[in-house]
Amino acid sequence: MITPSGTGLYIHFPWCERKCPYCDFNSHVSGQLLPEAEMVTALINDYTSDLETYGARPIDSIFIGGGTPSLISAQSIARLLDGIDRLTPLSDTTEITMEANPGSSEQEKFAGYRVAGVNRLSIGVQSFNSEHLKRLGRIHSSDEADRAIQAAQTAGFQRINIDLMYGLPHQTLEQALQDLEQGLSYNTGHLSWYQLTIEPNTIFYKQRPPLPDDDAIADIADEGEHFITQSGLKRYEVSAFATAGQECRHNINYWRFGDYFGIGAGAHGKISHNDHIIRIAKQRIPDTYLQAGNRASRLAVDSTLDQEQLISEFMLNALRLREGVETSLFQRSTGLAPECMHNTWRRLQAQGLMIEGDERLQTTELGWRFLNTVIESFME
């Protein structure tokens, strides 16, 4: 019997003003007028079809990502959330996160998003250094990033995440720490800090920028983590730091292998049934998604995970959490007995990469430093 730890809802808006050279997400440059009304209708129809197919269940969290969701008007976001609430009633404790860019036009909408029901904002600053922002292809300035965070606080958002990257072209350790110092000065209680990686199908992959070498990046990562934790934030997963109670519940549901519906162009979902788990993905191209007249034409993937996929996906997610997970979660979430991965688990324990004992699936300090190696061991 598979019993997921919770259920979330991911909503994807695929449009951006400009495609960043490092971005490999499903994002498409927007035109002058976005078909907001049509997209909201399509999203509600998509969600309705998923509920009819997989069954309704309480929604613990919603994450509105992209793309750049903050291109969408507050009125459209309100209509969307109202439609979701009618299908699966939301509570005052439902976490509703929305990604936002720091541009001035987006800032003007923050108060409207809060009234619409969004209660957590994730602001994609990436850097407070104007030169680095230009090299990253970002369309906002350092001053706009500062004003955006303050505008979100003024609008009444008590839960705000600031996104920052490190390992940027020509970035020094001092510059990385300056970004962190400014990001932490707002006292939002949550910071996402992750290394710039060069992904296939991006401009940076074709035209590789001059990045810091491996030793410099390692120094930035070590010094940066120390700087953040000294400020009072705790690292609770690979790229996220928070004060108590400010952790992103939606992402924790991912890492604990919970279920989630995914609606929107290119959105992915994971739904558990009594004895199997299904992975779902929707059509990536916005026009194809909008023109889909039924569930079958919206679907790109609908497949059942086999045992190897269940083990690898569970461990890929669970080991992102700094404190790991209780071993019993593995059986509850996959329907598999822990014995099916004992050989790999025991070998990693013998190598000092995972903690001893049977109660928790968690890396040691050494295993955390070589997390990719640990995770890859469960994929062999």
For position 269, what pLDDT does the model report? 98
| Strands 325-326 and 360-361, sheet pairing | antiparallel
pTM: 0.96
For position 1, what pLDDT does the model report? 78
Please check the confidence at residue 31 and state whether its pLDDT lies above 80.
Answer: no
- pLDDT tens, residue by residue, 274-328: 899 999 999 999 999 999 989 899 999 999 999 999 999 999 999 999 999 999 9
Q: Residue 188 CB: number of other CB atoms within 10 A? A: 23
Confidence of residue 134 (pLDDT cuts 50, 70, 90): very high
Percent pLDDT > 70 in the chain is 99
For position 17, what pLDDT does the model report? 87
Please check the confidence at residue 224 and state whether its pLDDT lies above 90.
Answer: yes
- Reference 176, options 134, 210, 226; nearest CA is 226
For residue 188, give both structure tokens.
């939002």
Helices (H), 122-233: 130-135, 142-154, 173-184, 203-206, 214-230
For position 84, what pLDDT does the model report? 98
Q: What is the mean pLDDT of residues 71-88?
A: 97
**Distance between CA atoms of 225 and 5, rounded to whole angstroms?**
29
Q: How many residues are present in the chain?
A: 380
Please check the confidence at residue 30 and state whether its pLDDT lies above 90.
Answer: no
**Distance between CA atoms of 102 and 315, rounded to whole angstroms?**
34
Fold that domain 7-253 belongs to in CATH: TIM Barrel (3.20.20)
- Domain positions in the chain are 7-253, 307-380
Average pLDDT across the chain, whole number: 95
**Distance between CA atoms of 168 and 170, rounded to whole angstroms?**
6
Look at domain 307-380 and name its CATH class. Answer: mainly alpha
